[in-house]
Amino acid sequence: MRTTAFHLVTRKETPQDAEIISHQLMIRAGLIRKLGAGLYTWTPLGLRVLQKVENIIREEMNVAGALEMLMPAVQPKELWQETGRIEDFGGQLLAIRDRAERDYFFGPTHEEVITDFVRHEVNSYKQLPINFYQIQTKFRDEIRPRFGVMRSREFIMKDAYSFHLSQESLETTYQAMKQTYTNIINRIGLEFRCVLADSGAIGGSGSQEFHVIADSGEDAIMYSDTGEYAANLEKCEAVSLLSERATPQQALEKVHTPEQKSIDAVSQFLQVEATQTIKTLLVEGIDEPVALVVRGDHSLNEVKANNLTSVASPLRMLNDDEIKQLTGCDAGSIGVKDLNCHIIVDRTVANMSDFICGANETNYHFTGVNWERDASYHIVEDIRDAQVGDPSPDGLGTLQVARGIEVGHIFQLGSKYSEAMNAVVLNEQGKSQAMEMGCYGMGVTRMVAAAIEQNHDDKGIIWPANIAPFSVAILPMNYQKSERVKRAADELYKALTAAGIEVILDDRKVRPGFMMSDFELLGIPHQVIIGDRALDENNVEYRSRVNMETTKVSRDIIEAHLKEKVQA
Ligand code: ATP
Ligand code: MG
C-alpha cells in the first residue's frame, strides 16, 4: 500500500474526552472516529487490525471444531419474555419497534436466539455435542460508555454457544474453549490471566474471565502470590481473618460520639483501630430490609451482596428517611444491637468480639459488643471484598492485586436456557431431555484497545506483530525529488509485496520529521529509512519500533533481513 493511495489521517492533539492511552492513540493514529456516544467508525487502517484479530479468533475457533454461523442482530422481544431476562439486562437493552408495532431488541448477546435455532434444528442426542459461533455487532446501552471502543455501546463480539447431552460433555467443551481462548490471546501476543468470575445476567453455574493485564484495566484481579488461585475481585472469596471468636473481655458500654459519622472518625475519636469496629449497611430486601455487616476496615462486595437471595436486585442502599424509620437514627450510628431486620454478617465479623458499633441512636456508639451476649445475627456469608495480604482462599499463598481488561468470558450455563425455552432432544433411551449449554464470549473490538493499552510508549502504538496493520513501513527521505531514493524505495516495495509481506510505502510529500513521528505513532513493527546519504554507501537504515534502535543494513541484504524479521 502507498500512503497516497490510502487514507492516513493522524492527529497531533490528544482528544479531550479520551481518558486512557489506548483511546487517545486510536484517535490520534486514525484507527477509529467517533460518531456519537459509544459509537465508532473503524477507518480502513483500524479495520486492518480488527480483521487480523477476527481472523485469529476465527482460525482458532475452527481448529477447535466450532461452526461459524451468523444470526440476526435484531431479536423479537417474545424470545426474551420466554427466558425472563428483560429485567436482568435492564436499561442496557436497545428497544426497537417496527411499522407493525412489533417490539424487538438490538441483541446485546444471543443466548435466546441460538437456543431458538437449536430447539428447531437439533432433536436427537446423535447431533450432540455441537458448538456454534458468530462474529457480530452487539449493542448494549451502557450507562457510561467510555474509553473509546473499550466500553462502547455498539461493539463486535465473538460469541459461541455449545449444546450437550450431559454435564460431562459440557465440561469437556468448556475446557477446550478455555484452551482456545488461551491460544487466541497468545497468538495476538498479549499478557493475560484467566480468573474465576461472577456470571452476572448471563447466569449459569460457573464462569471464568480472560483479562489482559494493564494498569488502566477496570477490573481488579486478585491472585495468589505462590499458588494458582486467581479471581475477579467481584468473585474472589474472602476468608475469615479471625480463626475463632475470642471470649468477651469487656462490658457493654454506650458512649457519646458527637458528629462522628464515619468509621475513621469514630475509631479516631475512640482511639481504637478500625479493625475493632463494624460497619452496618442497610439495603432493600425481598421481604424486609437487610443489614449487611462488614468489619470497619473492610468494604462490602456489591456483586456478592446482589447475589444473596434475601437481598433485592439490583442492590439498593436504604436512603436516610428509610434508615431513620427503621432504626430511629442517622446513617452514621446504625448498629446491630436490637436492630429489627434480617442481619447478615461477614465471615470475619462473625468471629469478632468486644467490638464497636453504632447504638441506633444518633451520636452514640456501643463499645465492648459481643455476639450472643449483646446482639445476634441471622446468617454468616462472604460479603466483603478480598484484600491484598489476605490468605488465598485455596490455602496457598497470599493475595495480590493486578488490574485487568476483560476480553473474554466463558460460562457453563447448564439447562437455564434450554429449560426456559424447551430446547430438548431425545436421549439414548428415547426420552426427552433438556440440553446442557455453555457460552463463550470474546470482545473483538475491545481486544484491539487492550492490545494498545499493553503495548505503547510515549511516542505511540507498538503493535504486536500478528495484529499490526502493516508489517513493514518504507520511509523514503525526499521521495519526490531524489530519483535514486525513489527507485530504491519502489524496488524494495515491489520485492516485499511480491513476497507476501504487508508493507506501506510513505510516498507523501511531507517533511522527514513529520513522516518519522507519524510512523512512531502508527507503530508499524519494522521500518526502513531510505535516504541519499546512506545510499552513497549502498546502505539503508532499519529501525525496530519495539526498541527504536536503528542499524545500517546493506541494500543487497535488506530484503532478506526484513523477511527474517517479519517471520521471527
Ligand atoms: P463488562 O463486565 O466489561 O461489562 P460483560 O461481563 O458485560 O463485560 P460479557 O457479557 O461477558 O461482558 O460479554 C463478552 C465480552 O464482550 C466481554 O468479555 C468483553 O470483552 C466484551 N464486551 C462486553 N461489553 C462490552 C462493551 N460495552 N464494549 C466493548 N466490549 C464489550
Ligand atoms: Mg463478563
Convert the pLDDT of each residue in 487-539 to its tens digit: 999 999 999 999 999 999 999 999 999 999 999 999 999 999 999 999 999 99
Give the Å distance between the CA of 150 and the centre of ligand 1: 9
C-alpha to C-alpha distance for 281 and 235, rounded to whole angstroms: 20
Whole-angstrom Cα distance, residue 291 to residue 379?
Answer: 11
148-167 per-position pLDDT tens digit = 999 999 999 999 999 999 99
- Give SS3 for 187: helix
User: How high is the pLDDT of residue 205?
Assistant: 77
Query: Is the shortest distance between the CB of 415 and ligand 1 below 6 Å?
Result: no
Angle at 114 between CA 108 and CA 115, to 5 degrees: 115
- What is d(CA 82, CA 32) in angstroms, rounded to the nearest whole number? 38
**Are the C-beta atoms of 161 and 61 separated by less than 8 Å?**
no
Strand positions, DSSP E, 285-430: 290-295, 342-346, 355-358, 364-369, 379-381, 399-414, 424-426
Query: What's the CA-to-centroid distance between 409 and ligand 2, angstroms?
Result: 5
CA distance 482 to 334: 81
Q: Which residues contact 531 (CB under 8 A, 6 or more apart)?
A: 476, 477, 478, 485, 512, 541
Condensed to tens digits (0 to 9), the pLDDT of residues 206-257 reads 899 999 999 999 999 999 999 999 999 999 999 999 999 999 999 999 999 9
Q: What's the confidence (pLDDT) of residue 203? A: 75
pLDDT at 103: 98
User: Which residue bears the cell 473474554?
Assistant: 408
pLDDT for 552 beyond 80: yes
**Closest listed ligand to the CA of 158:** 1
Mean pLDDT, all residues of the chain: 96
Q: Is the CB of 404 under 6 A from ligand 1?
A: no
In 3D space, the residue among 293, 268, 474, 484 whose CA is nearest the CA of residue 380 turns out to be 293
45 CA to centre of ligand 2 in angstroms: 28
CB 318, CB 354: distance < 8 Å: no
Which residue has a Cα nearest atom 25 of ligand 1? 151
Instruction: Verify whether ligand 1 is closer than 6 Å to residue 409 (CB atom).
Output: yes
Q: Does the Cβ of 469 fall within 6 Å of ligand 1? A: no
Going from the Cα of 153 to the center of ligand 1, the distance in angstroms, rounded, reads 10
CA separation for the pair 186, 192 (Å, rounded): 8
Return the ligand 1 atom nearest residue 140 CA: 27
Which residues touch 339 (CB under 8 Å, ≥6 apart)?
280, 291, 327, 360, 375
Q: What are 75-122's pLDDT values in tens digits?
A: 999 999 999 999 988 899 999 999 999 999 999 999 999 999 999 999
Task: Return all residues near 154 (Cβ < 8 A) that are at least 6 apart.
Answer: 38, 39, 40, 137, 138, 139
Residues with Cβ within 8 Å of residue 276, at least 6 apart in sequence? 267, 296, 354, 355, 356
- Residues 245, 235 contacting (CB under 8 angstroms): no
What single letter denotes the amino acid at residue 441?
A: G
Grid cell, residue 207, equals 464462569
The residue contributing the CA closest to ligand 1 atom 22 is 443
Whether residue 512 has a cis bond before it, omega within 30° of 0: no
Q: 26 pLDDT band (50/70/90 cuts)? A: very high
Give the Cα separation of 73 and 562 in Å (integer): 43
pLDDT score for 71: 98
**pLDDT at residue 263 is higher than 80:** yes
Q: Is 485 exposed, middle or buried (0-12, 13-18, 19+ CB in 10 A)?
A: buried
Name which of 454, 518, 416 is nearest 29 in CA terms: 518
Specify the ligand 1 atom closest to the Cα of 109.
10
From the alpha carbon of 218, which atom of ligand 1 is closest?
A: 3
CA 447 to ligand 1: nearest atom: 20
- Taking each helix axis from N to C end, the angle separating 44-63 and 167-188, rounded to the nearest 10 degrees, works out to 140
Residue whose C-alpha is closest to residue 54's, from 501, 562, 446, 381: 446
Residue 405, ligand 1, Cβ within 6 A: no
DSSP annotation of 15 reads: P
Please state whether 102 falls in left (phi above 0), alpha (psi between -120 and 50) or beta.
beta
pLDDT at 371: 98
Query: Rounded to whole angstroms, how far apart are CA atoms 425 and 428?
Result: 10
In angstroms, rounded to a whole number, what is the distance separating the alpha carbons of residues 488 and 345? 75
The predicted-structure confidence for 437-490, as pLDDT tens digits, reads as follows 999 999 999 999 999 999 999 999 999 999 999 999 999 999 999 999 999 999
CA distance 2 to 496: 13
Question: Mean pLDDT across the stretch 269-275?
Answer: 96
Q: Ligand 1: does its nearest atom lie under 6 Å from the Cβ of 107?
A: no
- Bridge pairing between strands 253-256 and 230-232: unpaired
Q: What is the pLDDT of residue 435?
A: 98
Nearest to 273 by CA among 255, 293, 250, 296: 296
